[in-house]
Amino acid sequence: MEIQSAFNAGVQGFQKATEGANQAASDIARSTLSDNEVSEPATSSAVTQASAVNEPNGLTESIVNLRVAEVQAQSSAEVIQSADENLGTLIDVRV
């Protein structure tokens, strides 16, 4: 695997983890709102989504998703760090 592709894989994984964490945090915040505090228009899909998140399983799932995003971010950071170390090793060998 090339160093550049390892960096790209790490960065893409980190971006995906950030998106997942943002979504999970949004779901958790939405679950803490009462039904009359939801500012979204009362469409059938919005009501269904809000009620699904307000269920205990929806909150639990959101918390688990937040933890998964945390682990994914840590793993991606390790990939980036490993690629950086390998690049440093290659530069030291070639100098």
Whether the model clears a pTM of 0.85, i.e. scores above it, the answer is: no
Tally of structural domains, the chain? 1
Structure confidence at residue 35 (pLDDT): 41
Q: Which domain holds residue 50?
A: 3-94
Structure confidence at residue 6 (pLDDT): 87
Q: How far is CA 8 from CA 50, 66, 69, 88, 91, in A?
A: 36, 23, 18, 17, 19
Residues 6+ apart with CB under 8 A from 14: 73, 76, 77, 80
Structure confidence at residue 49 (pLDDT): 54
30-74 tens-digit pLDDT? 887 744 355 555 554 554 555 555 556 788 999 999 999 999 999
